[in-house]
Amino acid sequence: MKNETPTQQMWKRMLSVLLALLVLGFGVSGVSLLNIMILNGNKYATLAAEQQLSTTTIDATRGTIYDCNGIELAKSATVWTVYITPKDIENDDEARLIADGLAEILELNADDVYAQTQKNTAYEKVKKKVENDVADQVRTFISDNDLGSIIGLDKANKRYYPNGSLASTVLGFVGDDNQGLSGIEYQYESLLKGVPGKMVSSKNARGSDMPFNYETMVEAQQGSSVTLTIDSFVQYCAEKHLEEAIEINRATNRGCAIVMNVNTGAILAMATEPDFDPNDPFTVTSEYTLDLLEQYKKQPVDSEESSEDQQEDNRDDNTTAYEKAYNEALNEQWRNKAISDVYDPGSVFKTVTGSSAIDEGVVNEQSTFGCPGYIVIAGTRYHCHHRAGHGHQNLFNIFENSCNPAFIEIGQRLGVTRFYKYFKAFGLTQKTGIDLPGEANSIYYTDENMGPVELASESFGQTFQITPIQMITAVCAIANGGNLVTPHVLKEVTDIEGNITRTEEVSVVRQVISKQTSELMCKMLRSVVENGSGKNAYVAGYRMGGKTGTSQKISESTEGAMKYVASFCGFAPADHPEYAIIVMVDEPHGGNTYGSAVAAPVASAIMKEILPYLGVEAVYTQDEYANINTTVPTVEGTSVESARQAISAAGLSSRVVGDGDKVIAQNPIGGSTAPTNGTIVLYTEQDYQPEKVTVPDLTNMGVSGVSTTAASAGVNVEIVGVVSGSSGAISYYQDVAAGTEVDRGSVIKVNFRYSDSVE
């Protein structure tokens, strides 16, 4: 070892100490790091993640609902939730700026928004379900005022119902969190809702974004789409005519209509009116209901002795009563009457009694019945609606006349056991199992507590209650050869890529009656429409069959104010049934309460529109063919002489206005229809002025009266609801109001119905 100088030794010692300190220092750090990163690494990483990372749920886009033709009935799209971070607002000026700016863009109250800015929170929702165009305005406001750290937009979803109130009680609606609350939205929630995603991003302690960008996302999975058996056009026709009927007949407890495929149970339309708009489900839409609610708004009469506190209390009570009544009205309008409300089916149920008796062999085509106008069962007298009695009748007659004593007699012949057996076999003791929520249970006598009087009442459709869907399902079984099918609304389910993941099959519950019984019943029910109480349900060319019903709501009626339910249930074509329909109008107050006058015309109007659309071929009888409207030939531009000939060949007459040789214009125009023997007005001079005439009152007249009055007034009439030339029908509605000025030759549609008092 060399001899070292003192300086060198000192350096060595100093370096050693320095090294030792370094080793010690780094050692401690190393041990600490070892502890933090290795030994307790997971624990601290978790704590850090909890503190620094924030998880935002990404809503899944809800699946689309289609009708059977692929028309969108409900669809979701991205919208935005505007929020603010009040904690990051620096001063009151900034708060004011935010409040005023957002209030203007989002159409809110500025003071309410300002109040939110004063809260000591990191997240305040200002408005939900803001659409893209408004969101863009918010973004512009944010960037113009450099408020990116205070105002933000979260992605959300909104449910659109493009067709408004169409099929609203079937579709249902969703809540604020896009969860189904009623109807199909609720029934198929698990399929439609999808799987939410997640976005993890880094936030500081105040909840704002970190300077560095870190975020990772798990994409949401869109929900499956659902295709229904509902046909938009059929649904529209059902709702349109039902709504008209409710208005014309001033029904106070709503109405419903169902159109169903007789063989498969597929529901093509299910209408309840008044209904609601699922785009705005929390608003009452019925004018009648809103008028009723007005009474709760009226201020109470405050007497002079009432103190201010008492007056205030009165107003509060009124507000509460109004709110309560409004909420009840909302629940009422959401209710699907076709499946959730029970009613006494009345004479429509005679189809079940009759088919049960025929199937059991208790009655047949040769059976006869006598009706003196009443029947006595166990000391109870039951009157026929035709007090004078129908006299001697065969099996066809008792259906045509809807004779109560005859059906009571049939019920007695069947007996309690067999009657109840068929009552059960037709599915009337249990729910149909339709894939909609809220189906009600029926109320009935079982065989154990049914005596002869109960049997008598039930035989003609009183003293028990079923739902409209149960009734039409039973009638479908009668019409389709005896098979009780399960009604359904779902057609198929498709995933996001369009692959069909589920298809609804036809479900036959059981064979209820024989094919022969079914064929006989179809003939008899066709006879009801052609010759009996169901004449108002007649549709030329389509062999409609069915039964009317008028039931008393005894438990809900008061002395001298009986309430009724008017209904009709039928199918077409009667010789080869394809589609069934039921129409129910609850508590009509339009002067006539019978099913034949109130419900049957609605069924006729609906079937007249939908059967050609559904491709059911019309087959006319000679009489029908002679009375159907004629297509008006196009004669504009032709000579007056040839125009006259063409019009005459079409079975129409003509009236020439002017002295010209050529036809300049005609009314009705070519290609439209005019009634047989109608008049076509031909204008032959340029700058012609169409002759104006005043439409007369054409209601409350027979067919011939209407034709004569219309001809005198210079208008043509299209007869709707009856075969032209038939007697007994009375007009009740015209599509152009009396007193309106129209061009001479215009066609006025006039609706007729038979107003015999038949249930």
Partner 1 sequence: MMYRDSTAYDFDLFAPKAKEVVEIPTHRKNAKPRSRAKTKGLLQSRLVIVAAVVAVLLLVVAQLHCQLQNSEVVCEIDRTKTEIRDLKSDNTRLQSELNGKVSFTNMEKAAKEMGMQKMTIAQTEYINLNTTDSVELADGDGGLLAAMQGLF
Among 81, 630, 638, 699, binds partner 1 (CB under 8 A): 630
Among 93, 107, 497, 617, binds partner 1 (CB under 8 A): 617
Among 141, 236, 296, 322, binds partner 1 (CB under 8 A): 236
Q: Does 673 bind partner 1 (CB under 8 A)?
A: yes
Quote the least distance from Cβ 132 to partner 1, whole Å. 5
Tokens 């059991």, located at residue: 360
Q: Is 256 helix (H, G, I), strand (E, B) or coil?
A: strand
Q: Does 233 bind partner 1 (CB under 8 A)?
A: yes
**Shorter beta-carbon distance to partner 1: residue 164 or 725:** 164
Q: Does 612 bind partner 1 (CB under 8 A)?
A: yes
> Three-state SS across 189-255?
HHHHCCECEEEEEEECCCCCECCCCCEEEECCECCCEEEECCCHHHHHHHHHHHHHHHHHCCCCCCE
Helices then strands, each counted (H, E), the chain:
23, 31
| Sheet with 267-273, side-by-side order of all strands | 267-273, 255-261, 579-586, 564-572, 545-552
Q: Does 629 bind partner 1 (CB under 8 A)?
A: yes
Give the integer Cα–Cα distance in Å for 359 and 354.
Answer: 9
Q: Does 538 bind partner 1 (CB under 8 A)?
A: no
Find, among 300, 329, 327, 328, the residue nearest to 314 by Cα.
300
* Token output for 459: 């035989």
Burial of residue 52 (number of CB atoms within 10 Å: 0-12, 13-18, 19+): middle
Quote the least distance from Cβ 318 to partner 1, whole Å. 36
Quote the least distance from Cβ 282 to partner 1, whole Å. 18
Quote the least distance from Cβ 113 to partner 1, whole Å. 24
Quote the least distance from Cβ 59 to partner 1, whole Å. 13
Interface mask (CB under 8 A) for partner 1, residues 738-757, using x and -?
A: ---------x----------
Q: Does 77 bind partner 1 (CB under 8 A)?
A: yes
Peptide bond into 372 cis (omega under 30): no
- Stretch touching partner 1 by CB under 8 A, among 175-183, 527-535, 565-573, 612-620: 612-620
- Stretch touching partner 1 by CB under 8 A, among 102-110, 189-197, 453-461, 609-617: 609-617
Concatenating the DSSP letter of every residue in 358-412 gives: HHHTSS-TT-EEEESSEEEETTEEEE-SSTT--EEEEHHHHHHHT-HHHHHHHHH
Residues in contact with partner 1, total (CB under 8 A)?
34
How many C-beta atoms surround the C-beta of residue 560 within 10 A?
5
Question: In sequence order, what are the residues at sequence separation of 6 or more whose Cβ sits closer than 8 angstroms to the Cβ of residue 651?
Answer: 630, 676, 677
Between CA 95 and CA 104, with CA 98 as vertex, the angle to 5 degrees is 135
Q: Does 672 bind partner 1 (CB under 8 A)?
A: yes
Q: Does 543 bind partner 1 (CB under 8 A)?
A: no
Interface mask (CB under 8 A) for partner 1, residues 642-671, using x and -?
A: ---------------------------x--
Find, among 580, 585, 588, the residue nearest to 606 by Cα.
580
Q: Does 32 bind partner 1 (CB under 8 A)?
A: no
Among 106, 628, 656, 730, binds partner 1 (CB under 8 A): 628
Q: Within a 13 Å sphere around the CA of 305, how many CA atoms are in the beta-carbon half?
A: 0
Q: Does 734 bind partner 1 (CB under 8 A)?
A: no
Quote the least distance from Cβ 236 to partner 1, whole Å. 4
What is the footprint of partner 1 within residues 122-181 (CB under 8 A)? 131-133, 160-164, 166
461 backbone φψ class: left, alpha, beta (φ>0; ψ -120 to 50): left
Q: Within a 13 Å sphere around the CA of 8, how many CA atoms are in the beta-carbon half?
A: 4
Quote the least distance from Cβ 52 to partner 1, whole Å. 23
**Shorter beta-carbon distance to partner 1: residue 234 or 377:** 234
**Shorter beta-carbon distance to partner 1: residue 76 or 473:** 76
* Token output for 185: 């939205």
Quote the least distance from Cβ 212 to partner 1, whole Å. 14
Among 540, 605, 635, 681, binds partner 1 (CB under 8 A): 540
Interface mask (CB under 8 A) for partner 1, residues 586-605, using x and -?
A: --------------------
The answer to whether residues 125 and 83 touch, using CB atoms and an 8 Å cutoff, is yes
**Shorter beta-carbon distance to partner 1: residue 322 or 733:** 733
Q: Does 27 bind partner 1 (CB under 8 A)?
A: no
Among 53, 75, 200, 553, binds partner 1 (CB under 8 A): 75
Quote the least distance from Cβ 677 to partner 1, whole Å. 14
Tabulate helix, strand, coil % of the chain (nearest 5).
40, 25, 40
How many C-beta atoms surround the C-beta of residue 729 within 10 A?
24
The answer to whether residues 444 and 465 touch, using CB atoms and an 8 Å cutoff, is yes
* Token output for 34: 């070892």
- Stretch touching partner 1 by CB under 8 A, among 281-289, 629-637, 638-646, 651-659: 629-637
Among 116, 178, 182, 232, binds partner 1 (CB under 8 A): 232
Quote the least distance from Cβ 251 to partner 1, whole Å. 20
* Helical ranges in 650-728 per DSSP H: 703-713
Among 541, 573, 577, 745, binds partner 1 (CB under 8 A): 541
Peptide bond into 573 cis (omega under 30): yes
Q: Does 626 bind partner 1 (CB under 8 A)?
A: no
Quote the least distance from Cβ 628 to partner 1, whole Å. 4
Quote the least distance from Cβ 165 to partner 1, whole Å. 10
**If you count them, how many residues does the chain have?**
759
The site for partner 1 (CB under 8 A) is made up of 72, 75-79, 131-133, 160-164, 166, 232-233, 236, 240, 540-541, 608-609, 612, 617-618, 628-631, 669, 672-673, 747
